[in-house]
Structures are given as C-alpha cells and as structure tokens.
Structure 1
Amino acid sequence: MSDVIQSGKQKMNFHVETVRVDSHSSLSRCKSAEIVLDTDLAGNPNALNPAELLLSALSACIIKGVERVAPILHFQMKGIQVIVDGIRQDVPPKMEFIRYTVIVDTEESDERLHLLHENIKKYGTVFNTIAPGTDLAGEIRRK
C-alpha cells in the first residue's frame, strides 16, 4: 500500500494480485499475506467464495474502525465479535441485503456504544462502499 497525492489530499492506494490455481481455487496476494479463494463453480469448502470474502471484508472494516476510534473516544473494551449475514439475489446478481451484529465486551454505557456504532458507520471504507448499493443494516450490543 502506498500513498498517492490527488487534489492536494493524500489518498491510500491498494494493490492485490490474484491467480487461478486450478478449477477449484485461486490465490490472492497482498503485501506478505495470501488467501485462498473459492472460485470453483461447485463450491470449495476450504476457502471463502467472493460473497463470503465481501462479508469478511465488512467484518474486518468494522473491527478496524473500532480499533481506530476506540483510543480517540477513550472507549474501553475487552473484545469484539462481528456476525454478518447476507442474502444474494439472482437477477441481477448482487447482495440483496446484509445484516450485521457487533458484539462488544465492554462496561461502557449504552450511549457510548451508540457513539461507537455511529463512528463505525461514518468512517468505514468498506462499510461506506457497500452501503449505497445494498440494504445494509445492523446493531451494536454488549456481550
């Protein structure tokens, strides 16, 4: 990942390379990381398919957003879990809707939990990429 200057503002640039391994899987590489992808038309139980990868990206975005804003908000927590479910429609093929639950192990007040959720929704890159084209909704709650 490198930074690019556009219109006077620094922008983040991402680079991923994916290769077909065989008729069952592909391999994506980014930085020093690799992930096996299910690109088999029959499905591959040992890898994430593209829709599952999208839902995983949303989960990671939510957790990374919490990691980013928790120190700013002085939000105390012991852990976090994100559960995401999506429904795919066939025509046209897309995620019809996505529902998520963020479960936070915290003693913070309900108001502070709500503030954390608002920050997740406002500043999440993947969240804000998915939201305009999908019925995306969720909740945050205490463990």
Structure 2
Amino acid sequence: MLDTVKNAPVNGLDLVALGEVVDAIGKDPTKAIVEFDVATRWAGQTRSESTVTGFTMAGERIQRSHKIIADEPHELLGADGAPNPQELLMSALNACMMVGYVAGASLRQINLESIEILTKGKLDLRGFLGLSDEVAPGYESIDYEVRIKGDGSAEDFEAIHQTVMKTSPNYFNISRPIRMNGKLTVY
C-alpha cells in the first residue's frame, strides 16, 4: 500500500516516469539533447501562423501537430484575431516556469491548489518603429509575480522558486542574451 501511495501521481505528474527520464539522461547525456523547431508563415495583414510538426530528442524525431496564431490588436493595425507576439512571448515564459513549479512541488510531495503567474512588460514603440536609435525596440525589464497555494511551507515554495529561476529554459532565454544566427533567403 505504501509503495502505491509513494508511486501515485502528484499534481498529475507521474514521478516514476520522471525518475526514469532523469536516470536515463544521467547515464547517457546524449539523451538530454532536445531540438525544437517552428515554421511561421504570414497570413495577411499582421497575422501569422506558426506550425509545430515535432521535435527531436536524443536524435529521434517525435511527431506533433500544433498551430499557433499571432495577430496584433486593432490599435496596432491588426485584426485582433489572436494574441500578439509580445503576449505569446510572456505566455511561453509563464508556461515554461509553470512546469518548473509543478514539477518542483510534485518532487517535494506538495499538493498544489493553485498557481498563477502574472507577467507584464512595458516597451516603447519608437524603438520598433525606428523613430529613435536611443530607444530599445524591446523590453528593458519584465515583471512577474507567482501566486502559489498548496500544502507546502513558505520555505518549500521559496526553494522551488529559486530552482525555477535557476533551471527554467525560458527564464534563462529571456533573462540573458541569446546569440541569434539569422539567414535571409530571397526567392
């Protein structure tokens, strides 16, 4: 009975499966290499459609099929048919960190009641519009608040928070410069 309880999912996560993945990667670091790719096409006006067809993990292609739509609000010349790229950026950051909070709590056997991440950033459109070289086209900072409730202590949640900031891929990506290797192909 104790093993059944010990092996029961916590917050919906199968900790046995997680342990197996961690063990496999620990034994063979080549299994840790994951490559994601997205194709984005213009769909008129300010709308774009991104297609996810899969990813590669440990050299094996895993097929998936998802579409992500982006558009600008009317005030920014769009049709307001979907979140804009800035909202999607923040959503991707929040979703990535969310995985870390859920996994961290689950590994500590903390049952969660709720988690909410509120994120906001302010940018100056003069940079994007090329009206001033002295204005950055993006964010100087992004603010976020994590609201978490569960049967863990404040110290448990602070430890999880510190771990998320240390290990979340999108937290890392946004909080540090990334080298962008662009290539233009003209048809």
Stretch moving more, 51-60 or 103-112: 103-112
Cα distance in 2 between the residues matched to 1:15 and 1:51: 19
Q: What is the root-mean-square deviation in Å for CA atoms of aligned residues?
A: 1.9
Contact preservation (8 Å) 1:75, 1:108? yes
Stretch moving more, 105-114 or 35-44: 35-44
TM-score normalised to structure 2 length: 0.61
Contact preservation (8 Å) 2:47, 2:70? yes
Kindly indicate whether residue 119 of structure 2 is the aligned counterpart of residue 84 of structure 1.
yes
Cα distance in 1 between the residues matched to 2:79 and 2:146: 28
Cα distance in 2 between the residues matched to 1:124 and 1:43: 32
Output aligned runs, 1:93-108, within 5 Å. Answer: 93-108=137-152
Stretch moving more, 50-59 or 33-42: 33-42
Contact preservation (8 Å) 1:26, 1:39? no
User: What is the CA distance between 1:56 and its match in structure 2?
Assistant: 0.7
Which of 1 and 2 has higher RCO (CA within 8 Å, sep 6+)? 1
Aligned to 1:24: 46
Cα distance in 1 between the residues matched to 2:79 and 2:150: 37
SS in structure 2 of the partner of residue 104 of structure 1: strand
Cα distance in 2 between the residues matched to 1:76 and 1:44: 41
- Percent identity over the alignment is 29
Aligned to 1:45: 80
Output aligned runs, 1:2-21, within 5 Å. Answer: 9=30, 10-21=32-43
User: What is the CA distance between 1:131 and its match in structure 2?
Assistant: 0.9
Report how many residues are paired. 126
Contact preservation (8 Å) 1:85, 1:100? yes
TM-score normalised to structure 1 length: 0.78
User: What is the CA distance between 1:39 and its match in structure 2?
Assistant: 5.5
SS in structure 1 of the partner of residue 140 of structure 2: strand
Ranges in structure 2 where 5+ consecutive residues have no aligned partner: 1-28, 53-63, 128-134, 178-187
Output aligned runs, 1:113-124, within 5 Å. Answer: 113-124=157-168
User: What is the CA distance between 1:68 and its match in structure 2?
Assistant: 2.5
Aligned to 1:67: 102
